[in-house]
Every structure is written in structure tokens, then in C-alpha cells.
């Protein structure tokens, strides 16, 4: 348990209401110095993959992004991190499929283009069904499709951040002084930092780059 560490962390305001980070990167890293070595290593590895819109994001194809998640899942991860990686990967796969379908592309011959696991089977089998028949399991899919179709970069990002913010909040509430709470704080802090640093013009540029990534899989 991490009673002292959790107690030393400030409250994180909701990303849409925050005007600044409540703790600096240096202060956060110092707090995380009290993590057990295995937890510190796991969290560092996970942040490198799931960090919201990392610097190299626009240089990665969908397939390489999925491969990064898959590689991470093959490492030793405590349950809180492993569950979040699965959650994040499922969203990545659904967005890949939505972008590809809206671009008028068929289901890829290589299933690895979409991702890994049972969800790939559902996506390929129901490619011609609206929202792949998954809108009840993933109620956010229709709205995400609308944001993609209207090129609303900020709207899409707000939707995705909100989904992940809520998931991490629930995870932390189930283990308030455990590793799950640390994971939730750090990953939400990463999202908050990105959101604060973003601006509408840059969001439009990033959205265009996101859509352009579809061309990376068109010939596969």
C-alpha cells in the first residue's frame, strides 16, 4: 500500500475545469521515487506507450501502435496496469476500425492491422454492420463516428479523455491507497497536462494527421 505517497498527492481537477497542473513534473517524479522498483518500472514502461498523444504519435502507424500495446501486455504487469492497457487497446482498435471504414476501406486481410484478441474477430465479422454491432457494448461509438465524420478534433479528444478519465477514477476508488490509485493519478496527470497544453489550432492539425494515418494501412 502507498498511504504516504497517495496522501502527498494533490487533488486533480477535472481536465475541462483545470487551468494549471496542481503538481509540477519534477514534484511528481520526486513523489514517485517512493514506488517499489517493480512498480516504478511497470509504470514507466506503460506511460511510454499510453501517454496521451506522445511526441512520436503522428509518426506511428496504427499497426505499430497496436504492436506496442501487445508487446507491453507480454511483460509482467500488475493487475491495475494490465486492465487499463486492455481497456486502452480496445479503444485503439475501435478507432482504427472506424477510421478505416469511414475512409471507405474494407476489413484488412491482415487482422493485426486492427489489433489482437477476440475484438478483432467481431470487427472483421461485422464490418458492414453499423458500428460493427458493438454500439451497445461501447455506447460511445456512434458519437466518436460523428466526431470523425465532422472532423471535430477537439470533440473527439474530449470524448476519449472523458472515457479514460472516468475509467481511471473508478479504478482508483476500488483501491484508494494501492498501486491502482497511483496508476490512476499518474495517467490522469498525463492526460491533464496534454489537455492544458493543447489549443484548438493544434488540435485541428493533429486530427488531420490522425486521419492521414489511414493511408498507411490502405495497401495492406
Q: What is the pLDDT of residues 97-143, one digit of tens each?
A: 998 898 888 888 877 778 888 898 999 999 999 999 999 999 999 99
Read off the pTM: 0.82
> Which domain covers residue 66, as residue numbers?
3-216
Is residue 41 scored above 80 in pLDDT? yes
Helix (H) or strand (E) run with residue 85 in it: helix 79-102
**C-alpha–C-alpha distance, residues 18 and 130, integer Å:** 36
| pLDDT at residue 67, rounded to an integer | 78
**C-alpha–C-alpha distance, residues 54 and 47, integer Å:** 9
| Nearest-10 crossing angle of helices 118-125, 79-102 | 20
| pLDDT at residue 215, rounded to an integer | 44
Q: How far is CA 156 from CA 48, 159, 186, in A?
A: 22, 5, 22
3 state SS of 22: coil
**C-alpha–C-alpha distance, residues 52 and 161, integer Å:** 9
Rg (CA), the chain: 18
Range 85-90 average pLDDT: 90
Number of domains in the chain: 1
**C-alpha–C-alpha distance, residues 87 and 73, integer Å:** 12
**C-alpha–C-alpha distance, residues 100 and 211, integer Å:** 9
Q: What is the mean pLDDT of the chain?
A: 84
Amino acid at each position: 500500500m502507498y498511504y504516504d505517497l497517495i496522501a502527498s498527492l494533490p487533488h486533480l481537477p477535472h481536465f475541462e475545469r483545470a487551468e494549471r497542473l496542481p503538481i509540477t513534473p519534477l514534484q511528481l517524479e520526486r513523489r514517485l521515487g517512493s514506488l517499489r522498483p517493480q512498480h516504478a518500472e511497470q509504470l514507466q514502461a506503460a506511460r511510454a506507450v499510453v501517454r496521451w498523444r506522445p511526441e512520436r504519435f503522428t509518426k506511428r502507424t496504427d499497426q505499430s501502435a497496436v504492436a506496442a500495446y501487445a508487446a507491453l501486455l507480454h511483460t509482467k504487469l500488475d493487475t491495475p496496469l494490465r486492465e487499463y492497457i486492455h481497456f486502452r487497446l480496445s479503444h485503439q482498435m475501435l478507432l482504427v476500425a472506424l477510421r478505416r471504414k469511414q475512409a471507405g476501406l474494407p476489413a484488412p486481410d491482415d487482422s493485426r492491422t486492427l489489433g489482437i484478441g477476440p475484438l478483432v474477430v467481431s470487427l472483421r465479422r461485422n464490418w458492414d454492420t453499423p458500428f460493427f454491432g458493438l454500439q451497445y457494448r461501447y455506447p460511445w461509438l456512434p458519437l466518436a463516428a460523428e466526431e470523425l465524420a465532422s472532423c471535430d478534433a477537439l470533440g473527439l479528444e474530449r470524448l476519449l479523455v472523458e472515457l479514460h478519465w472516468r475509467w481511471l477514477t473508478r479504478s482508483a476508488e476500488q483501491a484508494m491507497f494501492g498501486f491502482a490509485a497511483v496508476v490512476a493519478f499518474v495517467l490522469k496527470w498525463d492526460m491533464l497536462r496534454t489537455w492544458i497544453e493543447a489549443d484548438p489550432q493544434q488540435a485541428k492539425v493533429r486530427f488531420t494527421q490522425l486521419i492521414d494515418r489511414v493511408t498507411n494501412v490502405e495497401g495492406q
